[in-house]
Amino acid sequence: MKSGQQLLTVGITALAPAIWGSTYLVTTEWLPPDRPLLAATVRALPAGLILLTFTRTLPIGIWRWRALALGTLNIGAFLFLLFVAAYRLPGGVAAMIMSAQPMLVLALAALLIGDRIRYTHVAACALGTGGVALLVLKGTAALDFLGVAAALAGAASMATGITLTKLWGRPDGVGLLPFTGWQLTAGGLVLLPFTLFTEGLPTTISGTNAIGFGYLISLGAVLSYALWFRGIEKLSALAVSFLALGSPIVATLLGYLFLHQTLSILQLVGTLVIIGAALLAQSRPVNP
């Protein structure tokens, strides 16, 4: 892939975590309060079913369990563990722990795909974690064991999902939209029983809630995950994993713009460090 094409692919793929970063604002301002699992399930399952209905393509053969595995790792288990960590840890601590995800991708891609570990990529991992710490970590806080375990498991889930998506690719003749639909549906089905038994369904939905859910389904799931899986196909696993660190950047900026949250010099430095780490991770030649 030529450098111009690679830069365009990086930019398009980066739109996915940018959209995910905006979902924090949408969730807090437009959705029913204290129902994170409901938000995750509504975000994934309807979007997957819409894509399956539109494309009329179901997985067959080995891809039945592969789609289930990828949907669980990339969406279902990842979102569930993310919310457990968010409830039991300060948001900055959870984000910093989950920023270990590129390091896990680096190791998994070397083991499963044969990607070479370079010193620049190790440096990028260290910079990425440091940048996230500057961006979101404030003060000191007691660490909850279950919360830390959930954050680490969430990072491992996403890292494994990225690596296996890169390793397995897409089945021949299957487009990006049905492939995305398989994973969203599988992830939503994994989340559904946890949502029903822990949060239940809301008794009323306001117009604002409906707009928020519509945003999560259309942009937060269908568009963003299609762009994300496209990026995994075209870029190295490590390069894609670093782009996910853009999510806390967007969430922080939107909080400053719309929720009157503070934005310190250290947070701006952290943003620049994360961007630098992501650019450094792109140094590996990518597949054409």
**Which residues of the chain are under the pLDDT cut of 70?**
1-2, 90-92, 138-143, 283-288
Burial class (CB in 10 A: 0-12, 13-18, 19+), 63: middle
CB 236 within 8 A of CB 117: no
CB of 186 within 8 A of CB of 75?
A: yes
Looking at residue 228, what is its pLDDT? 97
Q: What's the CA gap between 139 and 40, in Å, rounded?
A: 29
Q: Cα(65)–Cα(119) distance, rounded to whole angstroms?
A: 36
Instruction: Give per-residue pLDDT as tens, 78-101.
Output: 989 988 887 777 666 777 788 889
User: In this predicted structure, what is the pLDDT of residue 286?
Assistant: 43
**Cα–Cα dist 226/181, whole Å:** 9
DSSP string, 192-238: HHHHHHHT---S---HHHHHHHHHHHIIIIIIHHHHHHHHHHHS-HH
What is the C-alpha to C-alpha distance for residues 85 and 82, in angstroms, rounded to an integer? Answer: 5
- Tokens read off for 124: 């990028």
Put simply, whether the predicted model's pTM sits higher than 0.75 gets the answer yes
Residue 103 DSSP class: H
72: Cβ–Cβ under 8 A, 6 or more apart, which residues? Answer: 157, 186, 187, 190
Distance between start and end Cα atoms, the chain: 5
The confidence score (pLDDT) of residue 151 equals 87
Q: What is the CA radius of gyration of the chain?
A: 18
